[in-house]
Each structure stands twice: as C-alpha cells, then as structure tokens.
Amino acid sequence: MSGPESPTSRQPGLLYTLRAVLWGFLGVRRKSDYQQDLVKLNPLHLVLVGVLVAFAFVAGLMLLVRWVVA
C-alpha cells in the first residue's frame, strides 16, 4: 500500500518544462537549476516542448518579415 505522493516526487508541469526550455534557448542557466532539471524533467517532454518552441520562433520570425516587407 503506497501513500499519497509527496510534492517532490511529482513530475513537473508544462510551465516548468517550458521555462527550462526557454532558459535553455537563451543559454542562461545556473548549474544548480540545470542539475535539478536533469533529475526532474522527462527528456521526451523536453524534446517535444523544444521543437514546438523552435517552430513558434521560426513562424514568428516569418510573420515579422512578412509584416515588415508588406
């Protein structure tokens, strides 16, 4: 019989993963935060969020260029 999960054993949510990916895109990350992310985050979630953020970034740049050129 297992008790309720402690808050530290739960998987981090989407916002935590998104924040880690965005800091990674900027290249500004403390070593302690990076080490925590290695333990807490699911690599598959990181890859999926990273691809989605990269796609949104490229789409945003394309829209900006179309708006400036028009």
Domain span at residue 64 reads 14-69
Whether 41 is covered by a domain: the verdict is yes
**pLDDT at residue number 1:** 47
Residue-wise pLDDT for 13-28, tens only, equals: 888 889 888 888 888 8
Query: What CA–CA distance (Å, rounded) separates 9 from 40?
Result: 9
Summarize the confidence of residues 2-7 as an average pLDDT.
Answer: 52
What pLDDT, in 10s, does the model give residues 35-69?
A: 888 888 888 998 999 999 999 999 999 999 999 99
Asked whether residue 33 is domain-assigned, the answer is yes
Residue 7 lies in a domain: no
pTM: 0.72
**Residue 30 falls inside a structural domain:** yes
How many distinct structural domains can be found in the chain?
1
Q: Hey, what are 23's tokens?
A: 């800091």
Q: What's the chain's length in residues?
A: 70
User: Is 1 inside any structural domain?
Assistant: no
User: Of 45, 44, 20, which Cα lies nearest the Cα of 33?
Assistant: 20
Using CB atoms within 10 A of its CB, is residue 6 exposed (0-12), middle (13-18) or buried (19+)? exposed
